[in-house]
Amino acid sequence: MHDQAQSHTPNPGGLPELTGPRACDALTPMGLGQSPFCMVIFDARLRIAWANEAANGLGDDVPAAQWPGRRLGEVLPHLDAGPVEESLRGCMQFRIEGPDGKTTGAVHIMREVTERARGQNRLALADEASFRIGTTLDITRTAEELLEVAIPRLADAGSADLLATVINGDQHAPPEHDQKMRLQRVALRWPDDRPPPAGYLRHGWLETDPAKPHHQCLAAGLPVYLPAFGDMTPEQLKEINSGTGFDRMMAARQAGAHSLMIVPLTVRGLILGIVVLYRLAGSEPFTTADLSLARELVSRAAVCLDNAWLYARERATALALQRGLLPRQIPPVPGLQVCYRYLPAETSAEIGGDWFDVIPLPGNRCALVVGDVAGHGVAAASLMGQLRTATHTLATFDLVPAQVLARLDQITADLTDPDTTATCIYAVHDPATRTWDIATAGHPVPAVARPGHPTVFPDLPPGLPLGTGLGDGHYQATRLHLPPASTLLLYTDGLIENRATGIDAGLARLAATLTTISQLPVTDACDTLLATLAPTPADDIAILIARTCS
């Protein structure tokens, strides 16, 4: 819309009307005819007295030379020639006084601001996308953020569909251009007052047909631009699309969509998915400028999605590696009922290096081990596997717990840089004496629940974390005697750490929970403990529960 202003005030005091040459002559010294701005002189009755040549740029309806004697709304019917207070932006007005000092007319200077304002809005929206899209490494959330930026400022409704390989963090590249693309809708945004069409819901699947232009455009990284989508016949739509894609197009049109853009999410020459944007009834069709902005927003989102996809692939690799390195089952051990659980983080944190083990020893004894490598990802999981293997090897020499930790400390220092450390707790149970010899290397203290007593945390020398290379003399073992039906819990810090409440509160919750569940079967106790303390863990958790038999 052009900025303009006009008043419907009647001719004040019956002033003479000023039109034609008189109006032009009154302003000739000012050189307004050569002004690059669109300039119009109105008489006292707000009929046009004169317009310069630049006024032709306001529209093609009536040439500016034919404007005199007409109202502004007559020569520019596409304009909203409303009250002055509704249209003052971007305009200038001043009175024309005759030789006698009386008002004889007014000059109205107009400037085309619609496209400039739209350009500024597009630039602002693109800038906003830079910090609103990609705030996390979660693929679904990134797709949702894209739609939150684009709707309703660019489109009225839309969705984002990603390839299954991207959603699952698959190591394999997306399909070739001549292969079907199987996409799942991960984000959907529709006006609150207009429900999405039936069946147009999140998690729905779409499969493209390589023989159709729709697929060929997307596979080549080109958008599908249908500004007059609502005017196309079903046959025309079916020609460019097919299958579930055609069904979705028809459902959207029945819900009021009349203009459509489908923009591929591409990065590094790979297509990750598509973004579908609609204009609904009551909105103007998309323009090529809208398409350009949509492509820019989607391009930025594609980079963020690629980062999230890379993270998902690395997380899946680390998780597979870690699970492959952890024991799949533990051997039966005399005098104990043992249960374990490993729970990977469910938040955006990467997989860590938590591990556990149960190692049979001579004389019906056994060693229970729980450790935690600092850091995350494949490197942490790999070091975890090396330390678990080293612990098994050291256990075959039947070393006391303090000696095992001293040697693990040196091994860790040899395997990593000085900034990489790990924690570990090593406990040996002797069923003949019902004793436990326990040593720790910077690891959380175990929890002990005895029948008829509250849970306690034994006072153990903390020991240095593994990786210092200081070796012997820095680890000490403590002997505990636990009666039958006692429960010993070894765990990693993910079970008790909570940024909001602190470790002390986590230990208190652990003690209260373990006291409550200490009479449950060990498998039930494991599950209840995790469900109570870490329903959605922010870090990996490994636990071992051992209950002494009667």
Quick one: 304 exposed, middle or buried, by C-beta within 10 A (0-12, 13-18, 19+)?
buried
pLDDT in tens, the chain (550 residues): 334 333 344 443 343 444 445 545 555 445 566 666 677 777 767 778 888 887 777 666 788 888 888 887 788 776 666 543 244 336 556 666 667 777 666 666 655 545 555 556 666 776 677 777 877 778 888 888 899 888 888 889 998 988 877 877 666 566 666 777 778 888 888 887 777 776 666 777 777 777 777 777 777 888 888 888 878 887 777 777 655 566 777 778 877 888 889 898 888 878 888 898 999 888 889 988 888 888 988 888 888 888 887 777 777 776 666 676 677 778 888 899 999 998 877 654 456 678 889 999 999 999 999 999 887 767 777 788 888 889 989 998 889 999 999 999 999 888 877 778 899 999 999 999 999 999 999 999 999 999 889 999 999 998 899 988 776 678 999 999 999 999 999 999 989 987 777 788 889 999 999 999 988 999 999 999 999 998 877 788 899 999 998 7
Residue 315 vs residues 123, 138, 300: alpha-carbon distances, Å: 36, 12, 23
How confident is the model at residue 39, as a pLDDT? 78
Tokens, residue 43? 């008489």
DSSP state of 401: H
Superfamily of domain 117-316: GAF domain (3.30.450.40)
Do residues 166 and 309 touch, judged by C-beta distance below 8 A? Answer: yes
How confident is the model at residue 90, as a pLDDT? 60
How confident is the model at residue 2, as a pLDDT? 39
How confident is the model at residue 403, as a pLDDT? 93
Q: How far apart are the C-alpha atoms of 251 and 249, rounded to whole Å?
A: 5
How confident is the model at residue 222, as a pLDDT? 84
How confident is the model at residue 10, as a pLDDT? 42
Q: How far apart are the C-alpha atoms of 530 and 342, rounded to whole Å?
A: 10
Of residues 208, 204, 188, the one with CA closest to residue 264: 208
Q: Residue 445 belongs to what H/E stretch? A: none
CATH tag for 326-548 (out of 3.40.630.30, 3.60.40.10, 2.40.170.20, 3.40.50.150): 3.60.40.10
Residue 242 vs residues 185, 208, 229, 231, 247: alpha-carbon distances, Å: 17, 7, 15, 18, 8
Does 12-112 match 117-316 in CATH topology? yes
Please name every residue paired with 354 in a beta bridge, in sequence order, or none if there are none. Answer: 372
Do residues 505 and 498 touch, judged by C-beta distance below 8 A? Answer: yes
Tokens, residue 533? 């303390």
**Terminal CA-to-CA distance of the chain, rounded, Å?**
87
Q: How far apart are the C-alpha atoms of 340 and 530, rounded to whole Å?
A: 11
The secondary structure of 25-39 as a DSSP string is HHHGGGTGGG-SSEE
Residues 6+ apart with CB under 8 A from 530: 341, 343, 495, 541, 543
DSSP state of 3: -
Give the pTM: 0.54
Q: How far apart are the C-alpha atoms of 28 and 26, rounded to whole Å?
A: 6
Helix/strand number for the chain, H first, E second: 13, 19
Do residues 157 and 196 touch, judged by C-beta distance below 8 A? Answer: yes
Q: State whether residue 251 is helix, strand or coil.
A: helix
How confident is the model at residue 5, as a pLDDT? 36
How confident is the model at residue 312, as a pLDDT? 73
Q: How many CB atoms lie within 10 A of CB 341?
A: 17
Residue 447 vs residues 122, 450, 455, 487, 547: alpha-carbon distances, Å: 59, 10, 7, 8, 12
Tokens, residue 534? 């870490």
Q: How far apart are the C-alpha atoms of 502 and 186, rounded to whole Å?
A: 35
How confident is the model at residue 89, as a pLDDT? 39
Do residues 513 and 532 touch, judged by C-beta distance below 8 A? Answer: yes
How confident is the model at residue 111, as a pLDDT? 55
Quick one: 475 exposed, middle or buried, by C-beta within 10 A (0-12, 13-18, 19+)?
buried
Residue 511 vs residues 493, 517, 530: alpha-carbon distances, Å: 14, 10, 13
Residues 6+ apart with CB under 8 A from 58: 2, 38, 76, 79, 110, 112
How confident is the model at residue 29, as a pLDDT? 42
Map out the domains of the chain as residue ranges: 12-112, 117-316, 326-548
User: Could you tell me the fold of the domain covering 12-112?
Assistant: Beta-Lactamase (3.30.450)
Residue 432 vs residues 39, 118, 140, 462, 550: alpha-carbon distances, Å: 105, 83, 55, 27, 12
